[in-house]
C-alpha cells in the first residue's frame, strides 16, 4: 500500500479530499505523472494538426485522437486521485460497514486499517512487477454515505487507477443499496402451485 503520512481522517471527510503530509518523492511522482500525460496530449494535438487528407487519414485521426483522449483522461484521473467520491445509502452505518467487509472477504482483498470511520481494501496490482505493490480502495464512513477513492502504488511511478475505479463504484453502489436477501427454504413445484404466500 502507498504510504500516506499522517492521514487526517476527520479533515479528509470534511474536505472530501485525502489530507496527508506529502514527501518530496510524492510531489516528484505527481509532477512526473502530469508531465507524461501532458507530453502525450501535446504530441497528439501536434500530430492531429499535421494529418493530411488521404486514404489513411481516418485511421491517423483515430489513433491520434485516441492518444489525446487517453492523455486527457489520465491527467484527469491523476488530478482527482485524492478526491473522495460519495455514495449515499439508506441502511444503518454498521450494516454498511459489514457489507463492505463481506465484499472485501468475498473478493480476497487484504483488509487493513479498520477503524470507526475508515477501511482499506488492498489487492495486488500485478503479478508481473517485482515487489508487493497494491491498489487500495480507501473507504471513509459518514452517517448516511461513504466517501472513497482508489490509489495505486508502483515500482517507479504511482500512476492513477484508470478503469477499475468505475467497476468498484458500481460494486459499492450495488452492495450498499440492495435489499438484504432473506434466506428462504426452497419450495417444491407442488407447494408453489397450491400454497401461495
Q: What is the pLDDT of residues 110-157, one digit of tens each?
A: 998 777 889 999 988 765 556 678 889 999 998 889 999 999 887 777
From the number of C-beta atoms within 10 Å of its C-beta (0-12, 13-18, 19+), residue 6 rates as: exposed
Give the pLDDT score at 148: 94
Q: What is the pLDDT of residues 43-77, one digit of tens each?
A: 999 998 888 877 777 888 899 999 999 999 999 99
Which residue, among 117, 120, 125, 89, has the nearest Cα to 104 in the 3D structure? 120
Task: Tell which phi-psi region holds residue 131, choosing left (phi > 0), alpha (psi between -120 and 50) or beta.
Answer: left
Q: What percent of the chain shows pLDDT beyond 70?
A: 87
Q: What is the pLDDT of residues 72-91, one digit of tens each?
A: 999 999 999 999 999 999 98
Residue 174, pLDDT > 70, answer: yes
CATH classification code of 84-180 = 3.30.310
Indicate the domain borders of the chain.
19-81, 84-180
Give the pLDDT score at 113: 78
Amino acid at each position: 500500500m502507498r504510504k500516506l503520512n499522517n492521514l487526517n481522517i476527520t479533515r479528509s471527510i470534511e474536505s472530501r479530499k485525502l489530507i496527508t503530509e506529502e514527501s518530496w518523492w510524492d510531489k516528484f511522482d505527481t509532477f512526473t505523472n502530469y508531465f507524461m500525460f501532458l507530453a502525450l496530449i501535446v504530441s497528439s494535438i501536434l500530430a492531429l494538426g499535421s494529418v493530411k487528407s488521404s486514404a489513411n487519414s481516418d485511421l491517423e485521426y483515430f489513433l491520434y485522437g485516441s492518444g489525446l483522449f487517453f492523455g486527457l483522461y489520465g491527467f484527469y484521473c491523476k488530478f482527482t486521485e485524492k478526491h473522495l467520491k460519495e455514495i449515499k445509502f439508506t441502511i444503518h452505518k454498521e450494516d454498511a460497514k459489514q457489507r463492505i467487509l463481506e465484499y472485501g472477504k468475498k473478493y480476497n482483498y487484504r483488509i487493513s486499517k479498520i477503524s470507526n470511520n475508515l477501511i482499506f481494501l488492498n489487492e495486488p496490482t500485478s503479478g508481473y512487477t517485482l515487489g508487493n505493490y497494491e491498489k487500495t480502495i480507501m473507504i471513509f464512513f459518514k452517517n448516511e454515505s461513504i466517501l472513497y477513492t482508489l490509489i495505486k502504488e508502483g515500482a517507479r511511478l504511482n500512476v492513477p487507477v484508470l478503469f477499475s475505479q468505475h467497476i468498484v463504484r458500481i460494486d459499492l453502489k450495488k452492495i450498499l443499496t440492495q435489499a438484504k436477501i432473506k434466506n428462504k427454504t426452497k419450495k417444491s413445484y407442488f407447494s408453489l402451485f397450491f400454497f401461495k404466500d
